[in-house]
A and B are shown apart, each in its own frame.
Chain A
Amino acid sequence: MSTEASAPDLRAEARALGLTDSEYDLIGAKLGRPPNGLELAVFSLMWSEHCAYKHSKKLLGRLPVEGPHLLMGPGENAGAVDVGDGLAIAFKVESHNHPSAVEPFQGAATGVGGIMRDIFAVGARPIAVLDSLRFGELDSPRSRYLLDGAVSGIGHYGNSIGVATVGGEVYFEGPYEQNCLVNAMCLGIAPQERLTRSAAAGVGNHLVLMGARTGRDGIGGASVLASAELDSEDADKRPTVQIGDPFEEKKVMEACLELLDRELLASLQDLGAAGLSSSSSEMASKGEVGLDIDVSRVPLREADMEPFEIMVSESQERMLAVVEPEQLAAVEAVCERWEVRCTVIGSVTDSRHLRVFDGDELVGDMPVDALVDDCPLYDLAPEQPVEQIYPAPRRTLAPSDDLAENLLALLGSSNVASRRPLFEQYDSLVQSRTVRRPEAADAAVLQLKHDTGGGSSAIAVSIDGNGRRVACDPYWGTVEAVLECASNLACVGAEPLGLTNCLNFGNPEKPHIAWQLSRSVDGMADALHQLGVPVVGGNVSLYNQSGDGPIYPTPVVGMVGLVPDAARAAAVGLGFREEGHTIAMVGTPQPSLAGSELAKLRGEPLPTSLPEIDLAAAKRAQEAVRDAVRAGGLASVHDIAEGGFLVAIAECCLAGDIGARLDFGSADVDWAALEPYLFGEGVGGFVVSGEREAIDRLAERVPTDVFGKVGGDALWVGLGGSAPRVPLARLHAAHGALAAAFP
């Protein structure tokens, strides 16, 4: 076997590829000799943070991974839950942060493409995408460039492939200026018996590569981009960003689903980070087998590619399948019909080694266990910072006790303003499942069957994660994110079945970041235990920092819930509906201004803690709201989140295009006491409206304060002596502020 470089050169090479000296030595020990260049390239990717989770794996063990509805948990391409009628919903969220920071359009597009492949790799047809985006402040040209590119890229891929983008969220905060976040979540539907695992099996079976040709794009993406901090040379990393081709993916998807439907594949895996290296070694590891791959058989875009380049290329729209020899002709016929390339590139062996050949020549030979299981796992060295590590946000609003001024500033702020200019760039309808479109309710609702007679069940889905709140308090901020997501599901009558997460953090080798990560995972674990919701899978994205410092710690959570009757969910919206309906607040949130949107606009420093949350009470309120929506009778339900209570009321007015009269009593009101109540934040509250009887029924189960009625063409806030009145037209004008970002 050839070795192209001498050992000292390779040690330097290993460092350049992101391996430590001790990791390099360990690789030599596992092989019983120094690695050659190809092996080093493969190891450097398999042992990168992105593939090996070497700084996060120990923490993730704290999260609950079992639940009554779970069909497939972490470890597969995507997790899946039971939604009844023999159907499964597979779902997962993944990051594509660094590629998007370098090239937003392709970075975001291939992020969507990658997460879709994870979904159809388990045999589920992708039915919906949600995205979670973070950029610097909107007045920065770089942020606008990244926003425009990422939104176009997500739309380009999702729209072209015929999968609806039904929801998402976006925040604009200074610490994401250099290192934006692009997380994409995909959901797929499958008959439960079609759920497919990726374990390679059957010695002698063919290893078949399907889809696009392999090129030089994305070489080293997992290590160079995804597992290192961003720096000023990032424009030079553009060639490591992959290029997406949604048409190719559409054909590959249809071919794979037909192949699985006809039971022609023994197993299936997508090619993502680290390309053939990781997909093949993970399939072999799960199946406890070996694989032989002949890189000379891989269809190439460029003829002169080196074997190591073929093994690590991250060219998109490729899938790897194990096929029994007697099924090969049928597989080739299906692929030909869909005009999808399909090539036998190797076979399953009993060697437990990944052996790479270039024709007859053996060019790499690595034990599968060493690649997949033997990467050293590191303990974090968490250390709580003595003071807040993030600077105070820039002040854009002077403190004032003018209610209308504060309200309008919040509604027009980049984190609260309507997301319509973004989501109108996405097809939210294709596949005819979308019962609740973006901004029609707090969660998207998708019917499971196309039953025009009504009575179909549905799923609800939401994705959440307010990084600034987590920066204030990693534990309670993460609890809030989980509760917020579950509250959004409750608003459409959904019971949460499972959660996927993407942990976006800075460099975990730095003690303060390690502390954020550790506290955040603890918060997520405690909230999930309380809710009884398991994690079905997810993704960790570390090293999200630049010369300007780390991003806000951003655990993004996506939750899927079951709605027994889609029509009931469709009967309740976010918006107020009818003149004369009673308005009430449900739940017992403990709002405070610290860490709120209003505090951000006023440039106040971030606090170093958030108030504790009564998890049990929050859960009770969610259950009561969920049951009320399922029973029917409420006209609107909206969860109180960014901007606080009065912003939530204004959003209900805007969505319903109708005013409201609130009355806080006749006594003179102390503004200092009222301000946190109106604009403070704290999870666990809902604004509901409906007939008085429906509100009263809810009040029997959960604290409910009635304080107004729907009607008129303004939001009128009765505060004892004064009664500010804000016309709907002014609310609409403020709320439409984001249109300016898409000239």
Chain B
Amino acid sequence: MKFGVVRFPGSCDEVDALLACEQQGEAEILWHGDRDLKGVDAVVIPGGFSYGDYLRVGAIARFSPVMEAVAEFARDGGPVLGICNGFQVLCEAGLLPGALLPNTELRFLCRQVDVRVVNPDTPFTRACDVDQTLSIPVKHTTGRYYAPDATIAEMEDVGQVVFRYAESWNPNGSVRDIAGVCNRERNVVGLMPHPEHAVDPLTGSADGACLFASAAQMVAA
């Protein structure tokens, strides 16, 4: 199992993601300027402020050469996980539905929250149980998930809502407590909470490790 972790200029959590992946298999950094995905089995787009995010978050990163390769990899069914800024980039790239808006409080928020696994049938939740609650931190200014009501209804029907904030834990005003979603084919998953910051009890929690373990299981299977 080999993970690839994308590094844009301005990525912040790429080393954290690399460490989380290395618990489950091999992992290496994919440079934003390269189109070569180096034969990885799964791609992680990490958190941070790609290209400074001075424009709309994720709006520039989607045009980078590596994202062309990631889009193609995703179209071919390859598993792709976007975390925080990575989720924003995937939405901007049209690989995931919806958009991330500024938090209702309009401030950066760093907080450990409870997240519920709604759909355990994706490459990144296969090792989780349905309704399993994970303690994972969020840290973002622009994390309020939004999509039109009709889109949300359709997404819920076909299992595209993958994570919800547990009751009373919604930190940013996301519609219907949505913390993470997938595409219709379920191979592309994005979430605002940071599972890579929950892979070691010493630093707070190991609940996030199951996302990376899921991907490793799928490839092994």
Contacts and interface: CB of A to CB of B under 8 A. Distances in A.
Contacts of A21: none
A428 B110 contact: yes
A423 B9 CA distance: 26
B108 A429 contact: no
A432 B200 contact: yes
A contact residues, range:
35 or more
B9 A450 contact: no
B54 A247 contact: yes
Contacts of B109: 424-425
Contact of A432 (B9, B51, B203): B203
Interface string A192-226: 00000000000000000000000000000000000
Contacts of B9: 247, 250-251, 338-339
A137 B15 CA distance: 41
Interface residues of B, number: 30
A156 B52 CA distance: 11
Interface string A325-343: 0000000000000110000
B195 interface: no
Contacts of A426: 108, 110
Given A160-B10, A429-B197, A247 B107 contact: no
Nearest to A426: B110
A706 B6 CA distance: 55
Majority DSSP secondary structure for residues of B touching A: mixed
Best-surrounded residue of B10, B13, B196 (most CB of chain A within 10 A): B10
B139 A429 contact: yes
A494 to B, nearest CB: 16
B79 to A, nearest CB: 23
B12 interface: yes
Interface in A105-163: 152, 155-156, 159-162
Given A435-B202, A437-B204, A247 B108 contact: no
Contact of A427 (B15, B19, B139): B139
A567 B201 CA distance: 10
B203 A447 contact: yes
Contacts of B23: 452
A159 B202 contact: no
Interface in B172-205: 194, 196-197, 199-200, 202-204
Nearest to B171: A424
A430 B202 contact: no
Contacts of B139: 159, 427, 429-430
Best-surrounded residue of B9, B53, B110, B111 (most CB of chain A within 10 A): B110
27 contacts: A155-B108, A160-B10, A160-B52, A160-B53, A162-B11, A162-B12, A245-B52, A246-B52, A247-B9, A247-B10, A247-B51, A251-B10, A423-B110, A425-B110, A428-B110, A429-B139, A429-B194, A429-B197, A429-B204, A431-B15, A432-B19, A432-B196, A432-B200, A435-B202, A437-B204, A447-B203, A742-B107
Given A247-B10, A250-B10, A432-B200, 10 more contacts: A160-B10, A160-B12, A161-B12, A162-B11, A162-B12, A247-B54, A250-B9, A428-B110, A431-B15, A567-B202
